[in-house]
Chains A and B, each alone.
Chain A
Amino acid sequence: MTYEIFAIKWRPQLFEDVIGQEHVAQTLKNTILFDRTASAYLFSGARGVGKTSLARIFAKALNCKHTQEGNPCNKCASCIDITNGSSVDVQEIDGASNRGIDEIRNIRDNIKYLPSNGKYRIYIIDEVHMLTIHAFNALLKTLEEPPAHAKFIFATTEPHKVPVTILSRCQRFDFKRIPLLKIKQQIDTIAGEEGIQISDHGISIIARQAEGSLRDAESLLDKVVSFTGTNVDDSQITSILGIIDREYINRMSWSIIDGKAHDCLEIINEIYNYGYEIKDFYKEIMNQFRNLIVSLIPQAHNQLLDLSDSEIEDVQKQSKKAGMPRLLQSLNFLINSEADLRYTESPKIVLEAILLKLIEIKDYLSFDELIKKIENIEKRLAQTSATNLRKDPGSFLAQNIDINDGQKGEEGSKKWGSFVQYLATKDRPMANILKEFTNYGLTKDGIELAPTKGGFIEGYFDDPEHYEKLIGFARDFFNANFTIVFKKQREFKNLKKTSNESKVPTIVKDVIDVFDGKIVGND
């Protein structure tokens, strides 16, 4: 005779017995008390948190004639039939095996018949997410307006696979993962009732391993008890459940942080030969790096997965040594490499490669360092461009021009010419206009210019905007106090006439002006 496993033996029979789902249990109980039941319910939540159990209790309560404060009596014929799975009115259907449209049509055809002895015909469809899309659609009309005597209860671990049209026709209850403390209490209760001697620490290990699922916790207890009998020894629990010793994990993270490849391989060897699952081990390492990161966040210590004080101390030592940027990088790398491990047939070598690579990460630059480096480069770039500016050809020339007082004649006009060239690189139109002006003497501090033509050109530099621009370039080129004085054409002509001793015929002067030439010899 197979013995009854705890998960079945301890399946709750009253609303109050359901652990960790009080919000659902209370609501359902009240609907019974106040007779406000809906026609369809959807229970969703992780594995082993009480969906099927609560569906059965609810079905019993709906059909029980002697409910006690909303709870089923568990004594009447209806309750007993439902518990045994032999009730005519309550059908529990495995949605995964009966997933086609034909099965659903069957339900639809039978639903019109009144229940035989209870109040309702109740269909519990477990694993409802596995129904085909046609089956779901065939259900829609029935679900929207079922006969008054019909109730549906759907249970699923994957509500996202249920079409929205179904969801909107159901009252939905989301089941929570069961808190660690409540799992511990329940295991303690079971152990007490079953006469099993187990320490608090042992219960903690089991509860933690269950990850919020009571059924998992119960089957783990089953497994332990089937090996040890009623007297459970703590040291046996970890080896029976195949839990990886935290010692290995700590050693591994140390060897990664310290960059000791040899230790790393040795630990992998030990783990592998012990028969631990490499993938579980990998998960634990990811967890460890997460803990290391959390330990660096002030005031987040209670978020650390329950570690003992001495372990927290060790973890902090490691994380300080590695530093946040490297830890983040490492965790990121571990997450990204998980896929490599998932599909390989010999995980050992892959794990070795991943962890050796992780050791290599030691030499990488943190973001902060990278940014600092970039900033340095930027600074250097800025400096060089500043010197380049100074070496600008125009300014460079200006430095070499030695402007003497009262510089005149050829020397002067040469220098002025180079300024016009410089100006052409800055503002070509202005330079072209400036070519139309005659230079009447360049001094250290200024120049006198007169237009050679009338009209547009003559008044161009009367515009203060143009004048400012020109004087700005000139001061850049010569010196900061440089001035430009514009004379009217006629004034100059007069000036010239008086100052210029040589008598040059006007036609010659015109030739000189047009060709930009000069008189080389006198007769």
Chain B
Amino acid sequence: MENKLMEMKSFREIRGQEAAIGFLKKAISNDKIATAYLFTGIKGIGKSSTALAFALSLNCSNPVDNDGCRECQSCRRMINGNHPDLLIIDLREKKDSIAIEQIRDINREISFPPALDGYRVIIIKSAEKMTVEAANAFLKTLEEPPSNNIFILNAADTGQLLPTIISRCQKIYFRPINEREIEEFLINNNDVDEARAKIAARLSEGSIGQAKIFAQDDFFSDRIDWITMLHNVITSPFASLFDIAQKFINKGNPKDNRMNLMLRVWRSLYRDMLLIKYGGLQDFIINFDFKEQLESSSSAFTIDGLLQSISIIVRAERDLMANLNVLFLIERSLFALKRVVNSA
């Protein structure tokens, strides 16, 4: 796993989450720190960074403006990753859920007081990936933990969490980050040109983490391939769709994230065509570098056809999560998309 040990940031280094961070700082200064927090918001907007920064400042012996000093012993141990009272639970390697054993480990751990003077902070990343058993096993602990234990649950999708878990936590909302801010960030930190930064920012829907992926060279060349591929799907005969699907599969490991990204790009293309069709919505267009092509392609569709196509892609995304056979999935989607064109 890359980057398993996340870089330990302080509150002041986190961008775009002033509201959430302000709230946490206030809780510290009012001495009203809850026992369980639920951080919600889309992927890649700083939930984990904030959770770590919160842990840093909670145990710091010389906090500056309720932020970690990064100099005291506690801060240094946290930054070096050897603080005994910081527990991070995440998906185990090659697993797609958090198992009940991981929660039982926590339950055992917190029956002892924290090793040092301060708080023990337990961070559960992707909390929505807890199995039902794991989540249930967590309920009693979460409701009445021994003192000086603080739980932080991170979840991109609270819809998948048990209502009984949500009800035991203070919910903190994390905002998607402003498009402009992402653009600037990409230009300054990732050395990306302006047009590309803009497309990546729009495609990311407010997630810096995603925007960083979208700004990479690999993604950009892939993106053009995918746009051409969709164009081929729309214009070439039914029989050629098998070849197109096969070519996509052959190009790399189908299990990786590529299919997901492609569907995302396609969805954004259909959405753009939809906006073009409606007219007067030009400033919302994501793929503005292909605007002319999109305009000409959109004439082949009705509004209803575009909406249908988006539904097809959404369904494919859902099925992809359910681990269906990728080749079948892509063939089915291509045929469905093609049929929409022909029926128009």
Which residues of A approach B to under 8 Å, CB–CB? 1-3, 5, 7-8, 47-48, 94, 96-97, 99, 126-127, 130, 157, 213, 215-216, 219, 222-223, 225-229, 239-240, 242, 261-262, 265, 269, 272-277, 279, 340, 342-346, 348-350, 352-353, 356-357, 360
Contact = CB atoms under 8 A, between A and B. Distances in A.
22 contacts: A2-B148, A8-B144, A94-B137, A96-B136, A96-B138, A99-B137, A127-B139, A127-B140, A157-B164, A219-B34, A222-B32, A223-B171, A226-B32, A239-B19, A242-B171, A265-B275, A273-B175, A275-B41, A340-B315, A343-B318, A345-B156, A346-B267
Contact of B167 (A213, A240, A348, A353): A213
Contacts of B281: 261-262, 265
B252 interface: no
A97 B176 contact: no
B43 A353 contact: no
Contacts of A97: 100, 103-104, 107, 136-137, 140
Interface residues on B, range: 35 or more
B148 A353 contact: no
Nearest to B304: A360
A349 B311 contact: no
A242 B167 contact: no
Contact of B205 (A225, A242, A348): A348
B284 A1 contact: no
Nearest to A223: B170
A356 B173 contact: no
Interface stretch (B22-30, B60-68, B191-199, B240-248): B22-30
A229 B317 contact: no
Given A242-B171, A275-B173, A96 B137 contact: yes
Interface-central residue, B168, B174, B315, by most chain A CB under 10 Å: B168
Contacts of A353: 271, 274, 307, 310-311, 314
B176 A96 contact: no
A346 B274 contact: no
Nearest to B169: A219
Nearest to B26: A227
Interface string B103-118: 1100100000000000
Contacts of A227: 23, 26-27, 30
Contact of B264 (A127, A261, A346, A352): A346
A344 B314 contact: yes
Contacts of A8: 143-144
B287 interface: no
A349 B310 contact: yes
Contacts of B104: 97
B168 A219 contact: yes
B284 A265 contact: yes
A277 B171 CA distance: 12
A3 B137 contact: no
3 closest cross-chain pairs (CB), A and B: A275-B175, A96-B136, A226-B32
Contacts of A269: 284
A345 B34 contact: no
A207 B311 CA distance: 37
Interface of B: 19, 23, 26-27, 30-35, 40-43, 100, 103-104, 107, 119, 133, 136-141, 143-144, 147-150, 156, 158-159, 163-164, 167-171, 173-176, 178, 205-206, 260, 264, 267-268, 271, 274-275, 278, 280-281, 284, 303-304, 307, 310-311, 314-315, 317-318, 321
Given A94-B139, A265-B284, A2 B119 contact: yes
B147 A94 contact: no
Contacts of A342: 159
A3 B33 contact: yes
Contacts of A48: 167
Given A2-B147, A226-B33, A273 B206 contact: yes
A2 B100 CA distance: 26
Contacts of A279: 158-159
Given A219-B168, A226-B27, A275-B19, A346 B32 contact: no
Given A94-B140, A360-B304, A346 B205 contact: yes
B321 A226 contact: no
B139 A275 contact: no
Interface-central residue, A216, A242, A273, A356, by most chain B CB under 10 Å: A356
A274 B20 CA distance: 12
Nearest to A230: B30
B133 A99 contact: yes
A223 to B, nearest CB: 5
B175 A274 contact: yes
Contacts of A5: 34-35
Given A275-B41, A360-B307, 13 more contacts: A2-B119, A2-B147, A47-B164, A96-B137, A97-B100, A127-B140, A130-B133, A130-B136, A219-B34, A219-B169, A226-B23, A242-B171, A262-B281
A227 B144 CA distance: 22
Contacts of B34: 2, 5, 219, 222-223, 226
B32 A3 contact: yes
